[in-house]
Amino acid sequence: MPELAYINGRIMPIDDAVVPVEDRGYQFGDAVYEVIASYGGKMFCVKEHFARLDRSMRELNFPKVQIEGISRAANELFGKAKIERAAVYIQISRGVSPRSHAFPGKIPVQVVMTVRKIEEKNPNIRETGISAITIEDIRWGRCDIKTVQLLPNVIAKQKALDAGCYDAIFVSKDGIVREGSSSNLFILSGGKLVTHPLATDILPGITRALILDLCSEKKIPVEERFFDKSELYEAVEVFLTGTITEVLPVVQIDGRTVGNGKVGSAARMLQEGLLGRLKSE
């Protein structure tokens, strides 16, 4: 079960993989990425992840890339690594070129992938729920594009850990609750599940879309609308969603107890529903 890397068609052990210093992803954050999870030796939601990767590149005017070829390469790499429960990371930068802010002329994009085992560091968190802090959202205006410019996310996560919490929730300057540092966010409020509408301020999460789909299947009422920090504090349930995160209940925010402080039934049911989808895909 080797942890492997791929760089522009070459596969190697992850520790041997290096990229050139003038990769634009390295110097400018001029790169997009995806993370795909596998369960029982099968990658989940592959089509959706590659569609979003393609969109991210189009939004940033990357040169046209044959996304099917990259998807095939990811599949080949994953097959070689033979890791049942893996995170497949795919990053595409605008290429390698002498440092200059403007886009380079016609050069090939640089494709990097890794396959690593997912280790559940805190196996109890789905039972106990997690605590979170809120933090001002200082990210750029296109959070709908999945770029590697993640410094505000990195700082948010570290602030949460430093505060003895698990994660951070971004809240805009004017009080609108956006999403987690690497996840989307739902609350149960007024008998409905509520989540931020798709906009340039959040990532259009693949897990978020799956949850919305599950809700419509189970006739759970949902509202995609803005809500503020006081509604977050008053919510009966709060949970994060994401590829690695799955459905993760939040039971404490900024030191305040959410609902009754226990994992709620909506989060529990949707986590089960999500795992059910994995098995049926």
Residue 242 beta carbon to ligand PDD: minimum distance, rounded to whole angstroms: 4
The residues in 46-105 that bind ligand PDD, with binding defined as CB under 6 A, are none
Which residue in 5, 206, 247, 251 binds ligand PDD (CB under 6 A)? Answer: 206
Nearer to ligand PDD, 28 or 89 (CB): 89
Residues near 158 by beta carbon (within 8 Å), at least 6 away in sequence: none
**Distance between CA 239 and CA 184 in Å, rounded?**
8
Q: What share of the chain is helix, strand, coil (3-state, %, to 5)?
A: 30, 30, 40
Q: Does 243 bind ligand PDD (CB under 6 A)?
A: yes
Between 33 and 96, name the residue whose CB sits nearer to ligand PDD: 33
**Does 146 qualify as catalytic in the annotation?**
yes
Q: Is 35 in the site for ligand PDD (CB under 6 A)?
A: yes
CA-to-CA distance for 215 and 161, rounded, in angstroms?
A: 32
Contact between 179 and ligand PDD per CB under 6 A: yes
Our CA angle for 262, 268, 271, nearest 5°, is 135
Select the residue interacting with ligand PDD from 184, 196, 232, 266 (CB under 6 A). Answer: 184
Residue 214 near ligand PDD by CB under 6 A: no
The pair phi, psi for residue 115, each rounded to 5°, is -125, 120
- Distance between the two ends of the chain, CA-based, in angstroms? 24
Residues that bind ligand PDD in the complex, under the rule CB under 6 A: 35, 179, 182-184, 203, 205-208, 241-244
What is the set of active-site residues? 146
